Every structure is written in C-alpha cells, then in structure tokens.
Amino acid sequence: MEKLLYKYLNDNLTQDEVKELQKWLENDKNNLRVFENIVGDWNLSNKYIDDSKEKVLSKILSENKSIAKEISMHRLLWSRATKKIAIAAAAVIALFVLNLYDFGFDSNKSLIVEPFQMIESGKSKATLTLDNGKKIDLVEEQNLNLKLDGTTIVGRRNSITYLNKPSDSKKQKYNSLKTPRGGEFFITLSDSTKVWLNAESELKYPLVFLGDKRTVELKGEAFFEVAHNQNIPFQVVTNDQIIEVLGTTFNISSYQDDAEVITTLIEGKVKVNQKFGDKKSIFLSPSEQSILNKENLKIESFKIDPAHFIAWKSGKFYFRQQKLKDITKVLSRWYDVEIFFVNSDLENKRFTGRFKRYENFDHVRSVIELTEEVTLVKKGRIILVK
C-alpha cells in the first residue's frame, strides 16, 4: 500500500491502481483517516522540506503515533463519535475524488450530479482608475498602452506594468487597481514590485514612488514580491495596520467583512504595526504569520506552514480543517455568489480539501456534497447551505 500511496502523491497511478486504492479506502474507515493526514502532511511539507520525496513520505508514514493523536483531535472537532467517523470518511472521499481530478483521472462515471446551472469561476478582470478620475476596464482580451507624465502603462491579458523614466516631478500622482467579485489581476509597479490582487480587492499606488518611502494602500487580499531597495522601505497600509519591508515576499488578507487581518511571510522580514489599540509592533520571519483581531485589537504571531495560505496565487484553493463559513466566504468572492446558511450549526463544520481555482462552481459543489453533511441549493446567484 505504501507504493500505491507514493504513486498517488506523485500523480502516477494507473486506472487499475486508482480502483485498488479506492477499495482500500472503502474497506476501513481508519484507512480514510490515515489517508487524509498523509495527503495533508505531504502537501504542506513537500514544498518546504529540502529532501527526497521518498524520505518525506517515509517520515510521514513512520509517524503513526502523531497521526493517531491527530485523529483523536479530529474527533474533538466533530460531533458525536460514530457520526464523526462517517463525516470524516466522507470528507476524505471528497478529498480523494478532488485529487483524482487534479491528475486527470476521469471520475465522471462514478460522480453523478443533478443538473445545475453553470456558475463559472473568476477570471482576470479589473478596473484601473487614473489620477484624473478616468476609469479603464481591464479584461483578458484587451491590451493597453498609455503614457502619463513620462510613465508608460502596458497591459497584456491579465496584467499591467508601469515603466517609468527618471522624473523631476515633486507631486505624487496616484492610480488604483480594483478587482470585482470573481476577478483577479497582476500588476508590476514602477519600482518593479510585483503584486497579485485577489478577488474583491483594491490597491492604491503612486504612478512613480517619490520621497523616502514606497507606500501603497490595500483593501482585500494581495500577494507581494517587493523589489529590494535598502534606502527606500516599502509600506503596505490597510485599514488596521501598516506593514514595513525592504524587499520580501508575503501575503496580506485584509477584507473589510473579515474579523481578522492575516499577514503571512514567505521570504525576508516584515514589521507589522497596529494602527489602533495599543499600537503594538511585531516582526515576522519566514513561515510566520500575524493575526490581528479587529474586535479586541490584539495581534499575535504564529509559526505556520504557508502553503495553503498562498495557494490561491497558484490557481488553487487549499483548505485544511477550516470552518465551512470561512470556506464559503472565500468561494463567494471568487464565484461572485451570495452564500447563506439555512442552519447556522453548519457554519462551524470543518473540512479539508483542495480545489482547482478555475473549476466551475458545479464541480466544487459536487465535491462538498460528497460529505453528505451539507446540500447546496441554488437560486439564481444565491446559494443556500442546508
């Protein structure tokens, strides 16, 4: 079985081996639990551990005690014991089916879904607002070539790039890039900093950076690769905090309707400053995350594995033991739908799974419903969870 698991994790199973692995999962519900932990640990560790895949898998499989402890923890998170096993088993089946989609196995024959009006995934689209107030709609099919005060703005498909010549201007002019629900966009700023803007987000930035700081303002979520400039620090200002960096890679999630502001550092070093409350400042090192609670204005930092926090940038959603209410909030922004819970008790159910970000909502819905814990009912662009 170890050989099959290794081939599965490397997307290398034949259809006969897929059936054999499915049979093993169905034979014993504990197999399903172990499978979920192996897949989760593999996804988190494979990208960040500098070792061979064989050693990584052997390490995961050898940690049977830790897996058993995690299984016990799962039992605390789900409701009654007998029901929990069935729920977790179904969730892992959903994860298994989803991963089969990831490496191309056609499971349509075993996955029958009732007719459901197609809701497409989000795509590259945004609105560029110039300093004079002029708005330009950016879509994949449209190219852009503008010249403003010595700066050239070039747009190609899903991105825009600012190319500037040295300027003597002393007046700061600003542009903003705003993505709607169901949109995303990529921008290269005039200092060569790269920004991936997630759905329902807005970035305000100067046409050319002047002065002793490079400051941008963010609403929503964005992933930054900041161009290094030791003499001119880079600042990201949100409603609740200010991030200060020199040159680094990090993700900020600062949606207005979220209870927390989450900053995840991938490379480099950042300083996170609170704007309100006790105005505490903390420093983050790679693979650390700060969480600012908007209600009590407390900020804390944690050591984390950043894989599933930045998966969206690479075209995937990765949820690991996340509450359904948080998952549906992410999905509603990307698919531009409104999701409501008929039964509020379902909001805190926890799920694990990976979704390709560009799959249509029908696919996502069918996988979630395989848990047999929830049903998604569509009324126009309104989804009812019950």
Q: Does domain 123-308 have CATH number 3.40.50.300?
A: no
pLDDT at position 17: 78
| Alpha-carbon span 160 to 45, nearest angstrom | 34
Long-range Cβ pairs for the range 149-152 (8 Å, 24+): 149/173, 149/207, 149/208, 150/208, 151/190, 151/207, 151/208
pLDDT at 64 over 60: no
- The CA-to-CA distance between both ends of the chain, in Å, stands at 37
Alpha carbon of 62 to those of 2, 47, 282: distances in Å?
Answer: 11, 19, 37
Could you read off the pLDDT of 133-189 as tens digits, one per residue? 999 999 866 788 888 888 899 998 789 999 976 666 678 899 999 999 999 999 999
Of residues 375 and 58, more confidence is placed in 375
> For 265-278, what is each residue's pLDDT tens digit?
999 999 999 988 77
Q: Which residue has the tokens 């994949």?
A: 140
Q: Give the per-residue pLDDT at 25.
A: 72
Do the beta carbons of residue 205 and residue 189 sit within 8 Å? yes
The pLDDT score that the predictor gives to residue 112 is 35
In this predicted model, what pLDDT tens digit does every residue of 10-30 receive, in sequence order?
A: 667 777 777 777 777 777 656
- Tens of pLDDT along 325-364? 999 999 999 999 999 998 888 999 988 888 889 989 888 8
| Mean per-residue pLDDT, 360-377 | 86
Residue at 43: amino acid letter: N
* 185 membership: H or E segment, kind and range: strand 183-188
Residue 371: C-alpha distances to residues 93, 96, 144, 163, 266 (Å): 8, 12, 46, 50, 33
Mean pLDDT of the chain: 78
Domain 316-385 has CATH 3.30.70.20: no
Domain ranges of the chain: 2-102, 123-308, 316-385
Counted residue by residue, the chain has a size of: 386
- Return d(Cα 163, Cα 150) in angstroms, integer: 9
Residue 291 has pLDDT above 50, yes or no: yes
Give the strand pairing for 350-356 and 241-245.
unpaired
